[in-house]
Structure 1
């Protein structure tokens, strides 16, 4: 049965191509979001949006910014965890923090984060002796951490508040809750699978030993904290009335983020916003739109500008070192033996 499925998948890839399906699916998501956004924003009063922006308290903005900063700080541990997983724990945390922050800040804004974020990571890690395959492994483990966190948050959140997911996919709440419980069962099964014995995936020189049971729980915990911080930032920026619980907003936020991620549009632009506006229709549209604009400023634009400044200054510094006859570009400004420093 497995061989037949593999043969069918290979034949489909040769004749049509999975990349074409993915591209068309992304276009379909973006087109649908554009239509929804167009209809949703009909009648929006720009003056009221500006008034709503001015109405935000500095306390709410400060708390949202703090949660965003905490979220990006947590993102650095995606890379730190991945480096330990592939056996490169000698790479200093500051390098993992630089690669993690800048790759996600750039990838979130440019889109196609698997490629753009991977390119940034390679530029940083190659200066410290990591090969292209090792960087690919880091990207894989970091991405896996992200998806484990998303699956856990959505599984727990939708089990608790299935109507939150129904506001986006228009599926009956009991179906969403059933799917969420199945997701949690699959996650528990996976944790039990890696707990029993070391699991290796891949082949030839591209093999990754998956984290064991305790480390997988840590991996899931990192993803939960990251998503929790991001959802808390968004929660501080939605209108206070009518009251909606944090879990409901968090489920909607994570689902909307995943839709934006699936579209590959820069920052999920249009897709994320349409999903949030549709799912939170009970809020005043102008006030909710103002909150979404502030969130984009805090979570996307400010970190993006900071990441570009950091990467630009780093490249300038490396160029000046080479011009002065300093250390060569490989393995980089750190010592070649990769000792933590």
Structure 2
């Protein structure tokens, strides 16, 4: 069994590298002329073509915007590491696990799950490997994964509720994508108020120690109020950081950050629900519908920068970490145990 998991890790690395190439190729193929070159060229020719397209799209973005995008990425991934820390505090298992270890585990988890899809499954696999090595049980890791997922959902509901209350007209352009969005501004505001009411009810349940919610033998216990307070800080911080990458990569005169945040929340959530890695196609459709005044090439360029900072570069940096970890685990499994001295 000790040799199976390193093999699984190696397969995940190979799969991720292939996925990385396909993702870049799909982004470059938006231009019909480039698509024709990619269809005719070999792998190395395609890599050179893709590199040329990426260089042409990003060169128009000023250097200070890239710096802001990088800072936004750091904020987002730092908040994601906070998710894990919050869950460990909830489990009372934070002692003996350093911030560096948590941040590394979280970074690899989200770098892989954001690109591969099936975030609960793929993220759970990484966390299981990392946290069982620190003494957590499988049940505790399951609770950790569930609480991290809920923290993300909580932040999405909270911020999207604020967006719908403040900018209810954001849903109107999405009618072109689905008739489900054909609601007036009053109805949109009511949906936003309902989302904020859910967050308030969750907080009250923690404050007043509501009874656990039972589903058969499974019980969901309300986190303590200090945990909820941390969720109110960490979840919005991560989402604001991720949306900030797109906002700073857009040209001057683009919609406000609140609109960009709303478009990001809806498109990224739709991408996760559809299990489309990186939300390819979903995010473009939502952003183009919500921001028709922004030139389409600029929207594509901003989303390409977002994928570069939030998805691709983290994946590139995470792969060596996975290899080093699995190598150490493989070496540990291959080391024979020293015989005990006779009594």
Shorter-chain TM-score bucket reads 0.7 to 0.9
Q: Does 1:302 align with 2:307?
A: no
For residue 173 of structure 1, report the CA deviation from its aligned partner.
2.3
Residues of 2 paired with 1:224 and 1:94: CA distance?
A: 22
**CA distance, structure 2, for counterparts of residue 212 and residue 86 of structure 1:** 11
C-alpha distance after superposition, 1:220-277 (max 9, x if no partner): 2210111111111110011213x41111111111111111111101111221222122
Give 2:87's aligned residue: 82
TM-superposed CA distance for 1:100, in Å, is 1.5
Structure 1 CA distance for aligned equivalents of residues 67 and 152 of structure 2 = 26
Q: What is the CA-CA distance between 1:317 and the residue it aligns to?
A: 2.8
Q: CA RMSD in A?
A: 2.7
Q: TM-score, normalised by structure 2?
A: 0.76
Is 1:117 the equivalent of 2:127? no
Query: 1:156-305 counterparts in 2 under 5 A?
Result: 156-168=162-174, 169-197=181-209, 199-202=211-214, 207-241=219-253, 243-305=254-316
Matched, 1:317 2:328: yes
Matches of 1:162 and 1:315, distance apart in 2: 48
- Quote how far apart the aligned CAs of 1:213 are: 3.1
Distance 2:217 2:167 in 1: 44
Q: Taking structure 1 as the reference length, what is the TM-score of the superposition?
A: 0.77
In structure 2, runs of 5+ residues without a counterpart are 1-25, 36-51, 175-180, 339-343
Whether contact under 8 Å (2:284, 2:299) holds in the other structure is no
Gap change, CA 1:214 and 1:255, over 3 Å in 2: same
* Structure 2 CA distance for aligned equivalents of residues 249 and 164 of structure 1: 10
- 2:161 corresponds in structure 1 to 155
CA distance in 1, matches of 2:85, 2:63: 33
Contact 1:165/1:255, CA 8 A, preserved across alignment: no
Deviation at 1:206, TM superposition (A): 5.2
- The CA deviation at 1:324 is 5.3
Match of 1:64 in 2: 69
**Aligned length in residues:** 287
Match of 2:101 in 1: 95
TM-superposed deviation, 1:94: 2.8
Unaligned 5+ segments in structure 1 are 1-36, 328-341
**Residue 73 (structure 1) aligns with:** 78
